[in-house]
Amino acid sequence: MLHEFKQFITRGNVLDLAVGIIIGAAFTGIVNSLVSDVLMPPIGKIMGGIDFSNFFINLSEGHYNTLKAAKEAGAATINYGLFLNQVINFLIVSFVIFIIVKQANRFKKAQEDAPAILTKSEMLLGEIRDLIKNK
């Protein structure tokens, strides 16, 4: 069983998957910062200074001006502004992955279309084959 596990874990696909997950986790941090620090402030400014992260529905008694105040008071809330930020994150990540896959497929197709380079031995064997055919 240990031998089978070793074979499984050392396969290229598993290592590629692990690298992809690590890069994806790092990329998530970048996208979160892009959305919350770069995209949402101008969108909020255009919409009259609105901070999407403070969009929430209070399910408890009382009134709270910010989500932070509601959380500190222990109020139950539906945080649809944070959800909106996550939807934007998802759309950005999906678009970037689409572009990456599209480019990778383009490069893969270009490599498949490239003629195969024959070694000297393969060329000699081809010549011998052609001479035998012609006799």
What CATH code is carried by the domain that includes residue 27?
1.10.1200.120
Count of residues in the chain: 135
Tell me the whole-structure pTM to 2 decimals: 0.56
- DSSP string over 44-95: HHHTTS--GGG--EE-SSS--SSHHHHHHTT--EE-HHHHHHHHHHHHHHHH
Distance CA 100, CA 20 (A): 13
Check pLDDT > 70 for residue 39.
Answer: yes
Distance CA 77, CA 83 (A): 12
Number of domains in the chain: 1
Q: What does the pLDDT look like over 90-126, one tens digit per residue? A: 888 788 778 888 888 888 877 766 677 878 888 888 8
Q: What is the pLDDT of residue 114?
A: 66
Full domain range(s) for residue 67? 2-134
Look over the chain and give the mean of its residue pLDDT values, rounded to a whole number.
83
Check pLDDT > 90 for residue 79.
Answer: yes
